[in-house]
Structure 1
Amino acid sequence: MPAPLTPEDVRLAVRAVVVHTAEEWPTGPLCRNDGASYPCRLHRWGRRVLEAHGLNERQIEALIRHGNPFVHVPFPFTATGPSPARTAGARPATTGYPAPAGRTGGLPARQQAARAVPPGVRPTAAGRPVTAPVTAPRWPRAS
């Protein structure tokens, strides 16, 4: 019976398939990292883990083309977004901290704070401040 995958297994598998990619040589494709014939042992292991995690061949190839060995693959992986088990409303209650008043789950909605306009600056229609024209220098000039 295979052991269940952990988030660390998925993270290491992404790193294995990205780092151990093919590099063309006159003798044929070799692993870019260790020079073994491609696909090397770690690349094959990484592909098996990612396929067991639910990624298809096209998605694995996109990870390799991306080239970042530290790219995040959600756990548990679903093709349409985060799994329903990990939504904000389904979070388990944490012990030790009382729930904030007026919140049922997730983060509160944030609103943009009003900006204070400093004196001498007039806002334009686009919202970018324009400074007033300066008639005298703000500091004494060197002679």
Structure 2
Amino acid sequence: MRVGEQSTDPIDQVLGEVPMPAPLTPEDVRLAVRAVVVHTAEEWPTGPLCRNDGASYPCRLHRWGRRVLEAHGLNERQIEALIRHGNPFVHVPFPFTATGPSPARPAASRPATAGYPAPPPGRAGLPTRHQAARVAPPGVRPTAAGRPVTPPVTAPRWPRAS
């Protein structure tokens, strides 16, 4: 059976198709990737069956995952590459753009993403790196070189048995 054909499986006829989410969210895309990777075809003497639930391939969840990924902007080749990759937790960017950022705009003129400052114009879009401050835990005094020194133990940390 092909991906676009109607299934003859009795469960599919009773339950119908899984409805598409109205606005696609990143969680829908993650679940769709898992659906197409986990519910792949496995060859049997009777024909291809779903590897996960044994229904005739493609099962309801595989068809739903393909529809969601196609609505998200992936083409057939990219969906097949996800399936061949075999990782159900692979990250598909949201929103998906096949070409990435536009090369016509320089990095300095791109809007800053939420939570990150705009990159300085002279560094080709790379963020500035800063040394993180080291904080010593309570009860540990730092030395002149910056390495913490633990205080000497004067009393046992647990009661003695005798």
Normalised to the residue count of structure 2, the TM-score between the two structures is 0.54
* More displaced 10-residue stretch of structure 1: 98-107 or 8-17: 98-107
Q: 1:56, 1:81 → 2: CA distance?
A: 15
Asked if structure 2 preserves the Cα contact closer than 8 Å seen for 1:20 and 1:33, the reply is yes
Q: 1:96, 1:117 → 2: CA distance?
A: 27
- Give the RMSD, CA atoms, in angstroms: 7.0
Aligned length: 143
Taking structure 1 as reference, are residues 25 and 98 closer, same or farther at Cα in structure 2, changes over 3 Å only? closer
Render the CA deviation track for 1:5-46: whole Å, top value 9, x for unaligned: 000000000000000000000000000000000000000000
Unmatched 5+ residue regions in structure 2? 1-19
Q: 2:117, 2:145 → 1: CA distance?
A: 43
Render the CA deviation track for 1:25-83: whole Å, top value 9, x for unaligned: 00000000000000000000000000000000000000000000000000000001258
Q: How far does residue 109 in structure 1 lie from its aligned partner after superposition? A: 2.8
- 2:129 alignment partner, SS class: coil
Q: Detail structure 1 runs of 4+ shifted over 4 Å in the superposition.
A: 82-107, 111-143
Taking structure 1 as reference, are residues 2 and 118 closer, same or farther at Cα in structure 2, changes over 3 Å only? closer
> Does 2:100 align with 1:81?
yes
Matched-pair identity in %: 90
Q: How far does residue 4 in structure 1 lie from its aligned partner after superposition? A: 1.2
2:61 to 20, 42, 54: 42
Normalised to the residue count of structure 1, the TM-score between the two structures is 0.61
Q: 1:2, 1:25 → 2: CA distance?
A: 33
Asked if structure 1 preserves the Cα contact closer than 8 Å seen for 2:119 and 2:127, the reply is no
Aligned twin of 2:122: 103
Asked if structure 2 preserves the Cα contact closer than 8 Å seen for 1:20 and 1:43, the reply is yes
Q: 2:136, 2:115 → 1: CA distance?
A: 42
Q: How far does residue 3 in structure 1 lie from its aligned partner after superposition? A: 1.0
Render the CA deviation track for 1:107-126: whole Å, top value 9, x for unaligned: 73349999999999999999
Asked if structure 1 preserves the Cα contact closer than 8 Å seen for 2:108 and 2:119, the reply is no
Asked if structure 2 preserves the Cα contact closer than 8 Å seen for 1:11 and 1:70, the reply is yes
Aligned twin of 2:109: 90
Taking structure 1 as reference, are residues 141 and 82 closer, same or farther at Cα in structure 2, changes over 3 Å only? farther
Aligned twin of 1:72: 91
- 2:43 alignment partner, SS class: strand
